[in-house]
């Protein structure tokens, strides 16, 4: 979570003892957690040097964002077909919360957390577990970069809200092509 929220920057070293002290645990569980994060592509462990947050090149980041966008579009289309009314209601509630904080002067990480919550609900509503898991992995891999570099203006925040409202409407009307079109227009919404 600290990596995704930008607490640790790309390339920054993660000190096991510091984390262990923060969490009041021994270094063993921290070391194991770092191995899991390495498998997920978030950190790299260098022998005799420790762990550091993975640094993606601009090209690698662009490739991951392209795949994220394509998966998001696919899942929007699938959600319009498979989402239950309860899932659509939950997504609409999340968009209402996003709208509420978009009007307040909240930090970028707080706004992005709410936006990711809405995206996660949409992905779950697609009922495609494989795509959802892939998307979550890719989001985790790039979220720290986005949080660290994003300076979304009030206008861009409101654009996110509008596009998510359009997605909710397409899901309610069971219009997969419309949901796909909105998702493709989303720019930096995911």
Q: What is the pLDDT of residues 113-126, one digit of tens each?
A: 899 899 999 999 99
Residue 61, pLDDT above cutoff 50: yes
Percent of the chain's residues with pLDDT above 90: 55
Q: Considering the chain, what is the average pLDDT of its residues?
A: 88
Residue 179, pLDDT above cutoff 60: yes
Instruction: Please tell me which residue, 76 or 147, carries the higher pLDDT value.
Output: 76
Instruction: Please tell me which residue, 92 or 107, carries the higher pLDDT value.
Output: 92
Structure confidence at residue 152 (pLDDT) = 62
Query: Tens digits of per-residue pLDDT, 30-58?
Result: 999 998 888 877 789 988 889 998 887 77
Comparing CA positions, the residue from 55, 63, 57 lying closest to residue 9 is 55
Helices (H), the chain: 16-23, 27-39, 58-82, 85-102, 108-125, 129-149, 154-172, 176-184
């Amino acid at each position: 979570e600290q990596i995704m929220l930008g607490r640790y920057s790309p390339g920054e070293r993660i000190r096991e003892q510091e984390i262990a002290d923060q969490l009041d645990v021994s270094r063993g569980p921290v070391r194991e957690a770092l191995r899991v994060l390495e498998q997920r592509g978030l950190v790299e462990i260098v022998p005799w040097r420790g762990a550091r947050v993975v640094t993606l090149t601009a090209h690698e980041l662009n490739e991951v964002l392209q795949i994220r966008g394509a998966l998001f579009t696919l899942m929007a289309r699938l959600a319009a077909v498979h989402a239950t009314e309860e899932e659509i209601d939950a997504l609409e509630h999340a968009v209402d919360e996003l709208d509420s904080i978009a009007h307040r002067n909240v930090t970028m990480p707080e706004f992005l957390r709410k936006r990711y919550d809405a995206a996660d609900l949409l992905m779950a509503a697609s009922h495609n577990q494989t795509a959802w898991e892939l998307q979550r992995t890719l989001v985790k891999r790039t979220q720290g970069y986005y949080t660290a570099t994003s300076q979304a203006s009030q206008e861009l925040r409101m654009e996110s809200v509008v596009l998510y409202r359009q997605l909710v409407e397409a899901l309610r009307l069971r219009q997969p092509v419309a949901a796909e079109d909105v998702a493709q227009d989303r720019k930096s919404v995911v």
